[in-house]
Structure 1
Amino acid sequence: MADREQRTPFYGVVMILAALGASMAVTYYGPTWFRVIVYILTVVVIMVGGVMTFRDYSR
């Protein structure tokens, strides 16, 4: 079984891809207010996913 340090970058990449997919899905469909909410959430999720993906475990 993989330890937590090996799974964390994978979860970060999955979060980034899911956020990008959600923003692409609402680009052409849905009301403007919903698009703005999804775009704001996308930025937050990508930042968290980036930290999870590129976190330094060398210590």
Structure 2
Amino acid sequence: MGNHPQRTPFYGMLMMLTAMITGLWVGDLPWPGLRVAAYLALLALALAGFLMTFRDYS
């Protein structure tokens, strides 16, 4: 496997999409504290994905 230049932005997009799709499921969790913790974790995942995707576009 070579070092493809578009691998990092692709993984970043996957992370952001995973955070958005998982956020739909998190809204159905029964405990508010668990929802808040899950949303904070998803926010961190989406932010990391955003930074990975757009790090070279300045």
Query: What interval of TM-score do these two structures reach, taking the shorter chain for normalisation?
Result: 0.7 to 0.9
Query: How many pairs does the alignment contain?
Result: 57
Letter in 2 for 1:6: Q
Percent identity (aligned): 39
Q: Which residue of 1 aligns with 2:7?
A: 7
Mark the runs of 5 or more structure 2 residues left unpaired by the alignment: none
Q: Which segments of 5 or more consecutive residues in structure 1 lack a partner in the other structure?
A: none
After TM superposition, the runs of 4+ consecutive aligned structure 1 residues lying more than 2 A away are 1-5
Give the letter aligned to residue 47 of structure 1.
Answer: L
- Aligned Cα root-mean-square deviation (Å): 1.8
More displaced, 1-10 or 48-57? Answer: 1-10
